[in-house]
A and B are shown apart, each in its own frame.
Chain A
Amino acid sequence: MKALRYMIVANFKMTLRNRTALFWNLAFPAIFIILFGLLLTTETDAFSVGVAGESTTSIARQVTSDLGNSSAFDVSLGSRESQLEALNEGERSVVVIFSEGATAQLAEAEVYYDQTDPQQAQIALSAVQQFLNQVNVESLGEQRPVTVSVQGVESQGLRYIDYLVPGILAMSIMNSGMIGLTTAFVSYREKGILRRIKATPFPLSSFIFARIVSQVVIAVFQAMVLILLGMLLFDLQIDGSLFNVVIMVTVGSLAFLSLGFMISSFARNQEAAASLGNAFSFPMLFLSGVFFPVDNAPAWLQPITKLIPLTYLADGLRNVMVRGENLPAEWLNIGVLLLTCVIGLVLSVRYFRWESAPA
């Protein structure tokens, strides 16, 4: 127990004193959040928004004229069909179609967006949604005057920053497992540190366990810092419980640490470890909806996104952070991540090597 405790503490010290590790764990994701957050808030062009059915209810009329008064939107009116056609031709970023709600005082809004430009659409969509939500927030009535339904977008009701922060978090958890841990472990092996540990009575399993514990704690700490940053700078909304966030971060961290161990078991040297880590993690970044939803990706890509562990971590984090989902509802994401962890560990133990093969 004492040995384990000292090993864990030593790992913390080493991570905190390692400027490179600190950069990748904290500064790098923070920079991402700040950059994307700023890009989002300094919209230059007004989004072209098409509106149909604006005269169905008074609230719709109200929202439409508010939209028109906002400099962020360039509103054009028309029939449902003509607006959708304009959207199809790329002349609109977003189309909002109002219809009467349950009572004459309520409105329903269907929001369509341009699928060929998901990134732009995502921003426009968030802006429109933000706007519509604002209307809802300002009305103090029991029922929300506008019910929004978005077509084909999984990021329902999310502002882009709310969508982005969990994604960046997932990305940095993946990186610290698949690149940070991998290169650290391979360098331990190359330098003979692993053999030095093997010469002590401290078991390999404890050495790995100590590393996992410290990495998970660091990942949780990292998540808290990034969330705080998002809240302070960009008014990030956290709807879920912090406890659920911690659990999701932990599970995701376990999955990617074990993948990292697996890669380090296979990689011959540090360069190979870094290349392998990047070769796995880089495509994951773009196929898993970290930065923008992949629902718009071509159909043949969809099954691939479902094979990627990062998809489950990004979704899971997003669900518990901003959608306020509880853990049982996240069984699929958690389950896939735990399975990844087990597979990774089994393979890394199977192929574990104490020393690099002689040159």
Chain B
Amino acid sequence: MDTALTESPPAREAMLAGSYIIEARGLVKRYGATTAVDGVDVSVRQNEIFGILGPNGAGKTTTLEMIEGLRDPDAGSIQLAGIDALANPIALKKSIGVQLQSTALFDYLTLAELIELFAALYGADTGPARVDRLIGMVSLEDKRNARVDQLSGGQKQRLSIALAMVNDPMVLFLDEPTTGLDPQARRNLWDVIRDLREGGTTIVLTSHYMEEAEELCDRVAVMDYGKIIACDTPLALVQSLGESATVRARIEGRLDSNRLERLRGATGSAVNDGQLTIQTVDVPGTLADLFALADEEGVRLDNLTTTSATLEDVFLSYTGRSLRE
């Protein structure tokens, strides 16, 4: 007998709820006539990388900064690691690390001095060994004594992550950490973020790059117009579309559309001017059946491609708009 199946749903809920390090409920923030965040629930599990994905103005920063204690919500509640964040902002700030979407840092200080200063502001250890460890964490060893204005964009982002880690936070919040970086620098930063997660930190980040959310995040909340419209693992989100991939090929000759529809996993097909398009939820099955069918009919397949659906398609299907207008 499978005991898991006999468990009642509420008990399962409770078990899962226990593993959430952040639970925000019904967050609302209004600015005049605009409702920047409109009843958002966020639940983040211990030690995951949680992404909030959405276009400009979706309300990502506002949501994040309410949880960080930087903006007061008009409604809602926030529990973080057992702390009532709204009632106890100081305890909250001691438990989290924050990188803001845009922060300049004090001029005229070196990296090491800035890290020492921020460590002191948290009452944390300011010793050189620890400063070096933080600098090493973001691979800025050779910039230890450089001033902030001598850093590149990617190096600045890494520095601000190091600054966010000075208090060994349980949760690290990163607001668009890779925006404006070139692909190489972005990948470097992903490695830094993954290492931090390996070190036991829970990470909440925002992004409007779907590749970033797909590659980096364990779970993603898709946000639009102040609301979370979907929240799951990137894979589950993509699969929820029911068309996880598209198979395309040029064909010489004719293929029976009824037989195309019956290919394993296929959910739809079309042939236009010799261009075959098949939506499928099972790429290998569909391809195997397609090859067999083409062989049988004596039809040649050229320029065969398969494209997986992406979070971009998820966003498109939920909102009818593209993520990047």
A-side residues, CB < 8 A to B, are: 2-3, 5-7, 10, 13-14, 17-18, 191-193, 195-202
Contacts and interface: CB of A to CB of B under 8 A. Distances in A.
Given A17-B108, A201-B93, A196 B100 contact: yes
A193 B93 CA distance: 16
Contacts of B122: 3, 200-202
Interface string B86-112: 000010011000101011111111000
B121 interface: yes
Contacts of A196: 98, 100, 103, 105
Given A3-B123, A6-B126, A193-B106, 20 more contacts: A3-B120, A6-B117, A7-B117, A10-B106, A10-B117, A13-B109, A13-B113, A14-B106, A14-B107, A18-B107, A193-B103, A193-B104, A196-B98, A197-B121, A198-B70, A200-B118, A200-B122, A201-B90, A201-B121, A201-B122
B104 A192 contact: yes
B109 A199 contact: no
B121 A202 contact: yes
Contacts of B176: none
B149 to A, nearest CB: 12
A353 to B, nearest CB: 13
Contacts of B38: none
A353 B113 CA distance: 27
B243 interface: no
B48 interface: no
B59 to A, nearest CB: 14
Nearest to B96: A199
Contacts of B123: 2-3, 201
Contacts of B105: 193, 196
14 contacts: A3-B120, A3-B123, A6-B116, A6-B120, A6-B126, A10-B113, A13-B109, A13-B113, A195-B70, A196-B105, A199-B93, A200-B118, A201-B122, A202-B122
B80 to A, nearest CB: 14
B313 interface: no
The 4 tightest CB contacts between A and B, nearest first, are A6-B120, A191-B104, A17-B108, A202-B121
A18 B102 CA distance: 23
Given A199-B93, A200-B118, A192 B109 contact: no
Contacts of B68: 199
Nearest to A6: B120
Contacts of B70: 195, 198-199
B108 A18 contact: yes
Nearest to A21: B108
Interface string B65-93: 00011100000000000000000001001
B120 A14 contact: no
B93 A200 contact: yes
At the interface, is chain B mostly helix, strand, loop or mixed?
A: loop
A193 B100 CA distance: 10
Contacts, number: 67
A191 B104 CA distance: 5
Contacts of A14: 106-109
A199 B117 CA distance: 14
Contact of B94 (A18, A191, A193, A201): A201
A3 B121 contact: yes
B109 A10 contact: yes
B29 to A, nearest CB: 13
A18 B108 CA distance: 7
A192 B175 CA distance: 14
A261 B103 CA distance: 22
A5 B103 contact: no
A116 B133 CA distance: 71
B77 to A, nearest CB: 20
B117 to A, nearest CB: 5
B121 A6 contact: yes
A192 B120 contact: no
B27 to A, nearest CB: 18
A192 B102 contact: yes
Q: Which of B68, B70, B90 counts the most A-chain CB atoms under 10 A from its CB?
A: B70
Contacts of A6: 116-117, 120-121, 126
A199 B89 CA distance: 10
A250 B271 CA distance: 85
A228 to B, nearest CB: 26
Contacts of B106: 10, 14, 193
A200 B103 contact: no
Contacts of A17: 108
Q: Which of A3, A5, A201 counts the most B-chain CB atoms under 10 A from its CB?
A: A201
A199 B120 contact: no
A9 to B, nearest CB: 8
Contacts of A197: 121
Contacts of A3: 120-123
Contacts of B93: 199-201
B177 to A, nearest CB: 15
Contact of A7 (B94, B100, B104, B121): B121
A7 B113 CA distance: 11
B30 to A, nearest CB: 14
Given A3-B120, A7-B117, A199 B100 contact: yes
A225 B134 CA distance: 40
A147 to B, nearest CB: 56
Interface string B244-276: 000000000000000000000000000000000
Contacts of B117: 6-7, 10
Contacts of B100: 192, 195-196, 199
Contacts of B116: 6
Interface in B2-22: none
B160 to A, nearest CB: 8
Contacts of B108: 13-14, 17-18
